[in-house]
Amino acid sequence: MRILHISDIHYREYYEPVNEGYLGVVYGMTSPLVHLEKCFSSISLSNIDGVVVTGDLTEKGSKRDYQLLKSFFIKHIGNLPILVALGNHDDKRAFREGWCNQYSILGKDVPYNKTVEIEDKLFISIDNANTLYSNGGFTTEQIEWLEGILKEKYRKEIILIFHHNLISVQKGIPAADPIEDFIELVSKYHIQALLCGHTHYHYQGLIGNILYSTAPSMSFRGHNEAEDGIVKFEEFPGFQICEFSSQGIKITPFYLEKEPRFIQSIIIGEINI
């Protein structure tokens, strides 16, 4: 089974015309739809069994933004199963109304959780994002919801997807907190992989004995090469393919350009990715 893993799209139909700070970064980047189209055309979708998107689908988007983004996905991937997790830049109410086509009276921070079966595996999206807390974390209610699913589906091979990273060594971005109860819970079950986003960089490692991987960003990324408080932002859009077989799991990142394209540099205090 081969899964296309995309993350951190940060789509908007229109971006605020600002030239400085974080808003200047998103205004100055190429439309993520351009990157997505290159992604879909660069792979053989007939060899893909499903798509996962691990958060920040939009840049604080509206109902219409989610509608347009979903229509774009459907146009290119057709009937392939797709499962998304929400990030700290997603508006949960607008997502429910635009992507899910559901009228929602739920608040913008009510978690979105979902499951989908792809072939013989169960993919679970658990929401560890909060628009008021950029580092994310798993609430007691979320852990209880996940535990109920894992107990019911314990015979399944399971892949968990979420937005916020669980390891703080990833480009200096803090890990979601708290995660102790989450790690204790997943260690009891047959979890094949933990897939996430948020850092905008590919990463692969282990949490306990579970494969853990972060996908590259489909929008921008930032890095600080010196201890001067200045972060350089650039485009180097990418995605990854997750292959599940009897021999194990292989995750391969791919990039859509040969070299990064510089956008601008900003002060760390102005950033909330």
For 82-125, what is each residue's pLDDT tens digit? 999 999 999 999 999 999 988 766 666 789 999 999 999 999 99
Question: Which range scores top for mean pLDDT: 40-49, 165-174, 219-228?
Answer: 40-49
**End-to-end alpha carbon distance in the chain:** 32
Q: Which structural domains are found in the chain, ordered by start?
A: 2-270 (3.60.21.10)
What are the structure tokens assigned to 233, written together?
């932002």
Task: Report the pLDDT averaged over residues 72-83.
Answer: 96
The per-residue pLDDT for 110 is: 83
The per-residue pLDDT for 224 is: 77
For residue 218, with 0-12 CB atoms within 10 Å meaning exposed, 13-18 middle and 19 or more buried, which class applies? buried
Q: pLDDT tens digits for 48-57?
A: 999 999 999 9
Of 253, 272, 270, the C-alpha closest to 39 is: 253
| Confidence category of residue 32, pLDDT binned at 50, 70, 90 | very high
Model confidence, pTM:
0.95
The per-residue pLDDT for 13 is: 97
Percent of the chain with pLDDT over 90: 78
Q: pLDDT tens digits for 168-188?
A: 888 778 889 889 999 999 999
pLDDT of 270 above 70: no
| Confidence category of residue 240, pLDDT binned at 50, 70, 90 | very high
The per-residue pLDDT for 154 is: 79
Tokens 């689908």 sit at which residue?
A: 57
The per-residue pLDDT of the chain, averaged, comes to 92
The per-residue pLDDT for 186 is: 95
Q: How far is CA 11 from CA 62, 89, 95, 169, 177, in A?
A: 10, 10, 12, 27, 26
